[in-house]
Amino acid sequence: MPKAAALSLATIELDPLRLVPPTGVVNLAEYSRFKYGDTAVAGHYGRYLADAIAPSLPASARVLVTASGYHAAPPAAAFLVPPLCRRLGELLPHAHVESFKVERSNVTNGDYATLSQAERYRALPKEALRVPADFDPTDALVVAVDDVRVSGVHESVMDAVLREAGAPHVLHGYVIDAFAAREHPELEAELNSAAVRSLDALIAVTRAPHFEPNSRLCKRVLQLSESEMHRFVRGVAPDLAAWVAAMAERDHLATVPAYREGAARYASLVPLGA
């Protein structure tokens, strides 16, 4: 197995812009809902990624699985990990599969999906990611899953962190590989919002049977206008409204310029602990 390798469920091709395969396990509407918390879709993607990854793994491998680094509010990619681990366990009954969390100490100032490649490197310095103190990748294969690859910045930074921690092999798995569009990284924002452009669509996702809130939803709420923020708080379950307040506090979003005003406004609507 190579020191670093990658696979995906679908790819983006340019000229004309299209998702390949155009039908099958990934479509843009479901992908967009997944990015905002529809974990039924995350479950499908996680299992299909496991099906794609399993042939690359020895039958009795020790496999360590992680996703994008975070502190409190998990990214959408974190919800790929449990179904992927369960499916790998089914496919490789003699393997030892476990997950671990990469801690991230900073928050991107604004939507990472809208940033250029240079801005992404500045937003995600290697020093911002940290593996657990008991992380031991000796004789293990590390699988790092994410929702999309566009610029390759996250992959290269994650590789550096995992290699420095002793990981001999890293396999990256993506739902969508959009590396062909790396000169147009703003495409990622379009993929994310394909089916969740309006506030009504966002609220509808929160009412899905298998919804779990994530960091993208939290940050979007903090960037709503005052009237939209009122509509969101009135339109979602009280425990979700409280979750946004708690995550904004735990991730210190009030200290990040892009979210400072919205965090203060939200705190006035939903006081912490209310």
Quick one: average pLDDT of 131-153?
Answer: 94
Q: What is the per-residue pLDDT across 214-272, written as a single tens digit (0 to 9) for each? A: 999 999 999 999 999 999 999 999 999 999 999 999 999 999 999 999 999 999 999 88
Look up residue 75 and give its DSSP letter.
Answer: P
What pLDDT is attached to residue 22?
59
Residue 195 buriedness (CB in 10 A; 0-12 / 13-18 / 19+): buried
SS3 of the chain: helix, strand, coil, percent, to 5: 50, 15, 35
CA 52 from chain center: how many Å?
A: 19
Q: Which of 112-116, 149-153, 171-175 has the lowest mean pLDDT?
A: 112-116
Question: Cα separation of 220 and 262, whole Å?
Answer: 10
This prediction has a pTM of 0.94
